[in-house]
Amino acid sequence: MSHSTPIQNQLKQKPLNFFWFIPTHGDGSYLGTDHLSRRPDFKYFRQVAMAVDHLGYRGVLLPTGQSCEDSWITAAGLMTATERLKFLVALRPGVTSPAFAARQTVALDRLSNGRLLLNVVVGGNPTELAGDGIFLDHDERYLQGDEFLDIWRRMVSGETVDFEGKYYKVKGARVDFPPVQKPTPPLYFGGSSDAGQELAAQAVDLYLTWGEPLDQVAEKIEAVRKKAASRGRNLRFGMRLHFIVRESEEEAWAAADKLIANISDEQIERAWKRFQNEMDSVGQKRQAALHGGRRDRLVVAPNLWAGVGLVRVGVGTALVGTPKQIAERLREYQALGIDTIVGSGYPHLEEAYRVGELLFPELGLGAVTQELRDEIPNEFSVGAYGGSRLAGRI
């Protein structure tokens, strides 16, 4: 008689899909200073990607924006240096046409043999969006995104598309080659506003939230779940956040303090004004509200620290603590329905190893258990995405 090991039982009950991050805008040991900084460099990106692939992470997120290297070209280069790693690449409604994006999608999915994932990004900074030629207001960007994804999905699925809407018009649009992942690579998306949640419920496969206290995450998941259910859909859920894991609690909090030691009060004030006045992202304002622009209120929940968000655009929270503490926090989020984590840490090469070597064993993840995870049917396959309305399409 065969007996399941604790790791096997844990994996079968509650698998966790753990991603890392390629710092295409640069990296370093400190926030708010160029001291010990690492400029964007493809050789360094490749180091991070190869390490993450070796450690047993499921994939990597490549960010997007004016300060980042292009995520599509970077991903194409890194795909040849990795074996199993999936690449979560930005799909930008408004920045490119849906037809061109559909052809890019199929080409990169074929190049990678089905290792492409798409992160739908409509943007949250009107000034930066203006530089890309986008002058729509907040809610209109999501309406444009809905039209974009309708055309994109139908084209990638093999249809010849005629479409006329408010934002796009195409006639006879098609892609002549099929993707590896049928009918399309999965769509990830994060948006905290009502308009963003409506788009998620309508069009994507996995909804991402930035790291927030449990009650806030629970409220957000419930809202999105209800919106999706009203459309006959059932989404998956994930979370984006930073990690500072050390063997002792004292070491972890010392590392957190060190990360922001060089940030000045003036930098914090400038960042706070930017979050409040220049950006229309609801998610960004929620992140800023956690710390309120103050150094003395950074621990916002057990082991959840908002220090990164004092100056960083995007996710500003980190789980800080020992491997056991952080694993406990992650299981609490899993109980809410989170099955995917997109992590990061400064600097990303060293912290990828710390998370992989210290935290993964507590979660039953990593290179040692990769073979076991691959034996679990349907947990990480393309068919696991999406809901009943799009059954067979996601």
pLDDT digits (tens, 9 = 90+) for 33-48: 888 799 999 999 999 9
pLDDT for 393 beyond 90:
no
What integer pLDDT is reported at residue 35 of this predicted model? 82
What integer pLDDT is reported at residue 354 of this predicted model? 98
Closest CA to 307 of 255, 343, 358, 352: 255
What integer pLDDT is reported at residue 394 of this predicted model? 24
Considering the four listed CATH numbers 1.20.1250.20, 3.20.80.10, 3.20.20.30, 3.20.20.80, the one that applies to the domain covering 14-242+321-390 is 3.20.20.30
Burial readout 293-315 (b: 16 or more C-beta within 10 A, e: otherwise): beeeebbbbebbbbbbbbbbbbb
Domain boundaries, the chain: 14-242+321-390
pLDDT digits (tens, 9 = 90+) for 290-307: 999 999 999 999 999 999
What integer pLDDT is reported at residue 136 of this predicted model? 96
Looking at per-residue pLDDT, the higher value among 32 and 382 belongs to: 32
pLDDT digits (tens, 9 = 90+) for 96-117: 999 999 999 999 999 999 999 9
Our measurement of the distance from residue 106's CA atom to the centroid of its chain's CA atoms, rounded to an integer in Å, reads: 21
- Are 238 and 9 in contact, with CB atoms under 8 Å apart? no
What integer pLDDT is reported at residue 11 of this predicted model? 44
- Are 205 and 278 in contact, with CB atoms under 8 Å apart? no
pLDDT for 389 beyond 90:
no
What integer pLDDT is reported at residue 382 of this predicted model? 34
- For 338-373, the DSSP string reads EEEEEEE-SSHHHHHHHIIIIIHHHHT-SGGGHHHH
Judge residue 30's burial from the number of C-beta atoms within 10 Å of its C-beta, 0-12 exposed, 13-18 middle, 19 or more buried.
middle
pLDDT for 390 beyond 90:
no
pLDDT digits (tens, 9 = 90+) for 310-365: 999 999 999 999 999 999 999 999 999 999 999 999 999 999 999 999 999 999 99
Closest CA to 242 of 353, 332, 343: 343
- Are 244 and 318 in contact, with CB atoms under 8 Å apart? yes
CA distance 189 to 311: 23
What integer pLDDT is reported at residue 368 of this predicted model? 47
What integer pLDDT is reported at residue 34 of this predicted model? 84
Mean per-residue pLDDT for 221-240? 98
What integer pLDDT is reported at residue 367 of this predicted model? 63
pLDDT digits (tens, 9 = 90+) for 350-375: 999 999 999 999 999 986 454 444 54
- Are 367 and 361 in contact, with CB atoms under 8 Å apart? no
Percentage, residues of the chain above pLDDT 90: 87
Total residues found in the chain within this entry: 394
pLDDT for 392 beyond 70:
no
